[in-house]
Amino acid sequence: MGPLQKANLRAAMLSVTLSMLIALGGCAYSVKIKNPKVEEQEFSRPENFVIELHNRAYPETFSVSVDGEAMNISQFHPFPPQAGKTHAGAMPMFTIDPGKEGFHSVEAHASMDCPPFTICGHSAKKKFKAPRIQICSDEDSPPCHTRFPDDSPDFNYLAVKETLVKEARVEVPHAPYLPVTIELVPSPEGGTNVSLSNDNAYFAPAGHKIEVTIPTNDRRAYFWVKGVHVGVTFVYAKGAGYDPNKLKVNVKYR
């Protein structure tokens, strides 16, 4: 074989090698987000995030963030993370309310072995919409009027007189797959104007939060608001996997 033939053979082998490396490394992923299934998915109920790690990924580098805030990886199963496995983790309580048209984002990252003999990293990101809690006076006919916190001054409203009690409720769009706990939190501004109860028997100290549970066979849970001091405040409703909402409460003279 002459020098020219040898050079052509080396060039051909190099081309094949590069093509294989591109196929192996360039198209490989270290993480895939499998739920949300599609970009800008709208969830009717909270669901698990589902994220797959490549079999060459380093599990100790696996991280997930929602709206830029890191999640605790111990919330994902299996834990510790495992290369080549699919991991599921529950949606958190969102710290950012995207408003009427906004989306949340989930981002996953992991490093992995990439040929030839290098380590590379990859991130996957998807946007999604979460269902929203509604909160209203129980004097409102079901369902609660759909309101967003930025609808001021048209958010849902409850009036109660000092020392008296009014019933209220929280609602979600569809019965949850698992029982969901909703936190009801009086606003730091004027929150001591009200006291809350989840059974109409024991009322928490004024300004303190309570919790109610929406079961899997219902969309609603009820709570009670007692007027303590005259003034206006808000009660915020928050739950994992749901966008929050608020109820305006006006405590009047008896």
Q: Are residue 248 and residue 138 in the same domain, yes or no?
A: yes
Cα(211)–Cα(182) distance, integer angstroms: 6
Q: What is the enclosing helix (H) or strand (E) of 122?
A: strand 118-129
Contact 135, 235 (CB under 8 A): yes
Q: 88, 110, 129 — which closes off a domain? A: 129
Q: Are residue 39 and residue 91 in the same domain, yes or no?
A: yes
Q: Are residue 125 and residue 138 in the same domain, yes or no?
A: no
Q: For residue 4, is it within any domain?
A: no
Q: Are residue 71 and residue 152 in the same domain, yes or no?
A: no
Q: Which domain holds residue 95?
A: 29-129
Reading the chain (254 residues) residue by residue, the pLDDT tens digits are 565 554 454 544 444 343 444 444 444 688 999 999 999 999 999 999 999 999 989 999 999 999 999 999 999 999 999 999 999 999 999 988 888 778 999 999 999 877 665 666 689 999 999 999 999 988 876 778 766 666 655 568 899 999 999 999 999 999 999 999 999 999 998 889 999 999 999 999 999 999 999 999 999 999 999 999 999 999 999 999 999 999 999 999 98
Q: Are residue 87 and residue 148 in the same domain, yes or no?
A: no
What tokens were used for 219?
């969309």
Q: Are residue 87 and residue 175 in the same domain, yes or no?
A: no
Q: Are residue 105 and residue 141 in the same domain, yes or no?
A: no
| Pairing outcome for strands 118-129 and 41-42 | parallel
Provide the residue type at 205 as one letter.
P
Q: What is the CATH number of the domain that holds 88?
A: 2.60.40
